[in-house]
Structure 1
Amino acid sequence: MEVRARAPGKIILAGEHAVVHGSTAVAASIDLYTYVSLHFPADSGNRFPSKEMEAIENLKQDNDDTLKLQLKDMGLEFSWPVGRIKETLPDSGTGCDAPSSPASCSPWTIKSIAALVEEQNIPEAKIGLAAGVSAFLWLYTSIQGCKPAKVVVTSELPLGSGLGSSAAFCVSLSAALLALSDFVVLDFSRQGWFMLGENELDLVNKWAFEGEKIIHGKPSGIDNTVSTYGNMIEFRSGDLTRIKSNMPLKMLITNTKVGRNTKALVAGVSERTIRHPNAMAAVFTAVDSISSELATIIQAPAPDDLAVTEKEEKLEELMEMNQGLLQCMGVSHASIETVLRTTLKYKLSSKLTGAGGGGCVLTLLPTLLSGTVIDKVIAELESCGFQCLIAGIGGNGLEIFYDGSS
């Protein structure tokens, strides 16, 4: 038997950086996912239906008295004897007694988990994964306690590119762990991918946010919220409002592969605001207007192809204006400008997404754009050493898969 969960990545459609200074921003899910599969041995205290118990027996030897985490895309596998986890985290017990309101990971627990992670000797080139492995151990032991199991993770999202890969990991992991606990009741007669109910999604989102805290320290909660619920959210001054798109949107996402220091970029915008308070206030006001108009357009009905085309043209103009304002904030980069020049040759509109300074660039792909043009654009961008991904925007959030036959 195999139960899997998948959660999407995210993009910022409008408002990045300005949102720190009180403006509205809009984020959306993308149909690129992180997948988590969770296997328990038959005697680990799980609650699988009896008809499935025999199918699980073949996993028993593989998982016997060991918790394993396989990061398939990274070619890495970690394992901890359950006894070692109990010794290091004596309070982990059999899982959480108050699942609806998860407490944050304590400094003592973080330190203890760090010791378990260090024992795995993560290669220096991939040491950035250590925080994610720590989040895994905390979420697993908090929800499931000290049980042997095997967890396999795969992802379509590039790491560290601003597409919400860590949030998608925390959301899909939390969902898989909760789905096979006593806190979420699954209908095992269902097959294929299906969404959880609102209460279950709320619970997953709370746990995922705590996992994000371990990875990022002080996350906004935007990434895990978009990944959990899907579609789009509008956010301003800490308030998140879920909104629903009424038009198909497709984007070319170009990963420049240029790393960036988000804290330094945010600080740079703040310093520029101190030096030029009136000018930057006008910039933030303009961005707020762009975000609000973009959200209105996306939510408005599009009864026919002509209406869709008109809305796409307006979105292209708003993206171009937003990018110009991001350049005013000083967060563009030579790699981003290369993408902008390349897509402009094909009369396509682009903007950076996220922190800037590298990272990813969005290019709107109009509904009527030919595949030949898209292929040419991608070929030219890839010749610059960039990675290109095509994604639908504003789709489903977290989903669980159960095939009923494994």
Structure 2
Amino acid sequence: SDGLGPRLLLAMLAPPRGAGGNLPQGGAAGPRPCSPEELAAIARLVELHEIPEAKIWLSAGLSAFLYLYTSILGCRPGKVVVSSGLPMGAGLGSSAAFSVSLSGALLMAAGVVCAEGAVAGTEWQLLGKDHLELVNTWAFQGEKIIHGKPSGIDNAVSTFGSMIKFKKGELTNLKSGNPVKMLITDTRVGRNTKALVAGVSERASRHPDSMASVFHAVDTISEELSSIVELAATDEIAMTSKEEKLAELMEMNQGLLQCMGVSHSSIETVLRSTLKYNLVSKLTGAGGGGCVLTLIPTLLPKLVLEKVTTELESHGFRCFKVEVGGQGLQLHQG
């Protein structure tokens, strides 16, 4: 472990007799959903490892690995080392980053994709748009195995980078006029995304009209936020006004997420702690624990940020400061 996330060694060996008869055989013309027969074969292989319930994320990740590996490369032997700087099951898209990285590496190994450029001054290589699209589609199939019915936004962000607006399968890159800085607080409370998503669906089926209004409000907030993000603030007054609007939208969004039933006592602790310093926070990911985002205003004194971080860490949480947006998939050939 590197202190945040795990380091895994995945070895693809010949499956035990009868255990993997229905596994994908590689050479797929393109990404496709995992069939029930293939999923059952993968489940049998995963069960052989007797992974405890507390590490359900590992079972899900191993299932996605087996599907992607066998679909792209077949059942030939191989070794894959995965190291992560992201906490698992915390709402930061670690499963999507895993699926995207794995898909990109496997497609490169299969000779299906190739680098078309490099990051200046580094050994990291970049893929062209068409190849990134292919990686993203494969990664989405891996995400479906892990989460059931993912939105597709996490794998899209991991693949293409930057800030992305995602609506009904359509991706729009947002060009931020100014950096948006956040404090990420990891509550260290694990949760099952698939179960949380199912819980929201069940609530929606019990209260269809009310939940439809909640979903509509979330959509409206997302549209307004994406417009504000792209505004360029040219002075401190404009920047403060922009950040105040972002904070209000985050606050409203968190309230709606609470209506969906996906908050958690650990999340509420973060909200109360940051509110003491007039900072606004909201959960990220599926909720139920995981991570919380806190908007860091440009003019926030460094001492205040240190104080709120210290208070959050006193609750057993861990914090790290980030800037929203960045490079997507990059490949390195050793």
Q: TM-score, normalising length from structure 1?
A: 0.71
The equivalent position to 1:122 in structure 2, one of 47, 51, 54, is 51
The equivalent position to 2:80 in structure 1, one of 139, 151, 156, is 151
Root mean square deviation of aligned Cα: 3.0
Distance 1:186 1:324, change over 3 A: closer
> Is the radius of gyration larger for structure 1 or structure 2?
1
Three-state SS of the structure 1 residue aligned to 2:60 is helix
Three-state SS of the structure 1 residue aligned to 2:177 is coil
Q: Where in structure 1 are there 5+ consecutive unaligned residues?
A: 1-34, 36-71
Q: 1-side partners of 2:213 and 2:42: how far apart?
A: 46
Are residue 165 (structure 1) and residue 94 (structure 2) matched?
Answer: yes
- 8 A contact 2:157–2:163 mirrored in 1: yes
The equivalent position to 1:399 in structure 2, one of 308, 330, 334, is 330
How far residue 247 of structure 1 moved from its aligned partner, in angstroms, is 1.8
Who is 2:136 aligned against?
205
Q: 1-side partners of 2:117 and 2:20: how far apart?
A: 35
Number of aligned residues: 327
Cα deviation, 1:261-298, whole Å, max 9, x if unaligned, reads 41354146425634xx3x65554444333222111011
Which structure has the higher relative contact order (CA within 8 Å, separation 6+)?
1
Distance 1:123 1:353, change over 3 A: closer
Q: 2-side partners of 1:91 and 1:329: how far apart?
A: 38
The letter of the residue matching 1:270 is A
1:26-175, aligned counterparts within 5 Å?
Answer: 73-74=5-6, 77-82=9-14, 84=16, 88-89=20-21, 92-93=24-25, 95-98=26-29, 101-175=30-104
- 8 A contact 1:73–1:154 mirrored in 2: yes
Q: Identity over aligned residues, as a percent?
A: 58
The equivalent position to 2:179 in structure 1, one of 248, 257, 263, is 248
Q: 2-side partners of 1:83 and 1:288: how far apart?
A: 46
Three-state SS of the structure 2 residue aligned to 1:195 is strand
The equivalent position to 2:273 in structure 1, one of 342, 352, 355, is 342
How far residue 149 of structure 1 moved from its aligned partner, in angstroms, is 2.7
The letter of the residue matching 1:138 is Y
Who is 1:314 aligned against?
245
How far residue 97 of structure 1 moved from its aligned partner, in angstroms, is 4.6
Query: Going by fraction, where is strand more abundant, 1 or 2?
Result: 1
Distance 1:288 1:104, change over 3 A: closer
Q: 2-side partners of 1:87 and 1:269: how far apart?
A: 38
Distance 1:194 1:308, change over 3 A: farther
Who is 2:231 aligned against?
300
How far residue 198 of structure 1 moved from its aligned partner, in angstroms, is 0.3
The letter of the residue matching 1:230 is G
Three-state SS of the structure 2 residue aligned to 1:146 is coil
- 8 A contact 2:31–2:137 mirrored in 1: yes
Q: Where in structure 2 are there 5+ consecutive unaligned residues?
A: none
Three-state SS of the structure 2 residue aligned to 1:401 is coil
